[in-house]
């Protein structure tokens, strides 16, 4: 049987050995094969097949002729790869306006196999049998659907359908594990799902398992890491579901689990940075900013936020996400750390801007610190025509 793997990357396997349809990754020969394999015996209309293969071509492009050429080349590639075809038959059948894979040549596609196993697992009434089917289905999931063709419209539709089926099976299997008291097993399933889809909030199910097992410290750290990643990578604030888990963690009764000595040890020995300002995620920086703002109203201490934005020599912000911008940001971050004090706090606001919270420092001293950061930045940054724009936000004391 010819096995077709689409999850993680496109791979064809015949008799346990991988094979290739050609040297050009992402070519129309491979696309045509995958489309026919996914459609199975029902086939695909000629007009739709042309649209999926050649939708990006110009109006002058002869799609009909190129379809015939691509079909011919695929037939030749399959023959050269050593895939047997019944005598007198062809790999690809066409007629009545349809193209389809020859059902006489057995074919197995992992995403279709996953869909069938998921349906069986959800219909199975025996708990252990359902879990075995689910495990078999999840073993097929090695990554996203056809990432090498990710820009194709038809791939996007299949990916959306695949993610929906994956989520439904996950919830069914997760529920069965929880019902049996298998919070560790359910946690491991959610952790694995989060590694495949880090931005789909599978971490929520990990948090539920940790909370159910009274692992509040670990749950809080997971919440911090996840929300920081969401904000840093895609600019997303914590969802209401995530906030609900945080409230459960905060309301948990720590007193039954800990002692005064443990509290003192954690307070005294939990310093996590060696030098310079405390570098923290933006949500934590904002929380501490609010705390400092209300503290200075009582103490009378000055405090300021130094805002640093990376620009070019024309005072135009750099392009976020570019390799050069990322490297300049890394250099600026290190310059801030080497200049600031351990009593200060810093964060990266976005791809171009850093914030430094200076406690006990007024505006005039803030400009002196900015000058020291700038001198260090100029000494260490190898890129020319790059500057740092400094601005100051003073924390105002409340009027008496």
How many angstroms separate the Cα of 294 from the Cα of each of 78, 215, 288, 305, 395? 72, 32, 10, 15, 10
CA distance from start to end of the chain: 83
Looking at the domain covering 111-151+163-254, what would its CATH class be? mainly alpha
* Mean pLDDT of the region 370-397: 90
Pairwise CA distance, residues 139 & 114, whole Å: 9
Identify the band that residue 217 occupies on the pLDDT scale cut at 50, 70 and 90.
confident
Cα 265 vs. chain centroid, distance in angstroms? 36
Model confidence pTM above 0.75? no
User: Using one digit for the tens of pLDDT, what is the confidence trace for 82-105?
Assistant: 888 888 889 999 988 899 999 999
Looking at the domain covering 2-109, what would its CATH class be? mainly alpha
Q: Show me where the domains of the chain are located.
A: 2-109, 111-151+163-254, 278-394
> What count of other Cβ atoms lies within 10 Å of the Cβ of residue 362?
14
* Mean pLDDT of the region 135-140: 95
Domains 2-109 and 278-394 share a fold: no
In this predicted structure, what is the pLDDT of residue 233?
84
* Mean pLDDT of the region 105-131: 94
User: Using one digit for the tens of pLDDT, what is the confidence trace for 38-56?
Assistant: 998 889 999 899 888 887 6
Exposure string of 18-38, with b = 16+ CB inside 10 Å and e = fewer, is ebebeeeeeebbbbbbbbbbb
Pairwise CA distance, residues 313 & 387, whole Å: 6
Extract the tokens encoding 400.
Answer: 């008496």
The answer on pLDDT for 76 being more than 70 is yes
In this predicted structure, what is the pLDDT of residue 267?
65
- Report the chain's C-alpha Rg in angstroms: 29
Extract the tokens encoding 345.
Answer: 């706090």
In this predicted structure, what is the pLDDT of residue 28?
85
Pairwise CA distance, residues 289 & 319, whole Å: 28
The answer on pLDDT for 116 being more than 80 is yes
Could you name the CATH architecture of 278-394?
2-Layer Sandwich (3.30)
Please give the angle made by the CA atoms of 390, 276 and 397, to the nearest 5 degrees.
55
The single-letter DSSP state of residue 140 is: T
Spatial CB neighbours of 181, under 8 Å, sequence gap ≥ 6: none
3-state SS of 330-394? Answer: HHHHHHHHHHCCCCCEEEECCCCEEEEEEECCCHHHHHHHHHHHHHHHHHHCCCCCEEEEEEEEE
Widest CA span of the chain, in angstroms?
96
């Amino acid at each position: 049987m010819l096995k077709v793997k689409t999850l993680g990357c496109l791979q064809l396997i015949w008799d346990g050995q991988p094979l290739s349809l050609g040297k050009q990754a992402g070519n129309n020969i491979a696309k045509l094969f995958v489309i026919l394999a996914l459609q199975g015996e029902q086939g695909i209309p000629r007009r739709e097949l042309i649209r999926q293969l050649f939708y990006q071509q110009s109006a002058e492009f002869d799609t009909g002729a190129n379809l015939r050429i691509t079909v011919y080349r695929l037939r030749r590639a399959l023959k050269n790869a050593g895939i047997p075809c019944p005598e007198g038959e062809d790999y690809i059948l066409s007629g009545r306006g349809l193209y389809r894979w020859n059902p006489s040549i057995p074919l197995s596609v992992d995403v279709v196999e996953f869909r069938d196993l998921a349906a069986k697992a959800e219909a199975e009434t025996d708990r252990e049998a359902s879990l075995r089917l689910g495990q078999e289905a999840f073993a097929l999931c090695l990554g996203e659907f056809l990432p090498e063709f990710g820009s194709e419209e038809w791939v996007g539709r299949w990916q959306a359908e695949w993610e929906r089926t994956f989520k439904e099976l996950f919830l069914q299997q997760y529920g069965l594990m929880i019902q049996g008291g298998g919070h560790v097993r359910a946690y491991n399933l959610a952790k694995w799902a989060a590694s495949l889809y880090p931005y789909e909030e599978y971490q929520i199910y990990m948090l539920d398992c940790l909370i159910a097992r009274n692992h509040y410290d670990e749950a809080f750290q997971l919440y911090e890491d996840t929300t920081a990643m969401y904000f840093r990578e895609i600019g997303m604030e914590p969802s209401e579901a995530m906030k609900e888990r945080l409230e459960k963690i905060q309301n948990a009764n720590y007193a039954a689990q800990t002692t005064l000595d443990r509290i003192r040890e954690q307070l005294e020995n939990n310093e996590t940075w060696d030098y310079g300002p405390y570098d923290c995620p933006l949500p934590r920086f904002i929380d501490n900013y609010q705390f400092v703002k209300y503290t200075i109203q009582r103490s009378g201490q000055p405090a300021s936020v130094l805002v640093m934005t990376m620009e070019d020599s024309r005072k135009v912000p750099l392009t976020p996400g570019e390799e050069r911008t990322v490297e300049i940001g890394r250099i600026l971050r290190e310059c801030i750390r080497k200049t600031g004090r351990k009593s200060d706090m810093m964060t990266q606001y976005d791809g171009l801007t850093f914030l430094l919270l200076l406690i006990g420092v007024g505006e005039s001293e803030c400009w002196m610190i900015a000058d020291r950061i700038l001198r260090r930045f100029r000494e260490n940054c190898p890129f020319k025509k790059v500057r740092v724009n400094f601005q100051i936000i003073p924390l105002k004391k409340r009027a008496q």
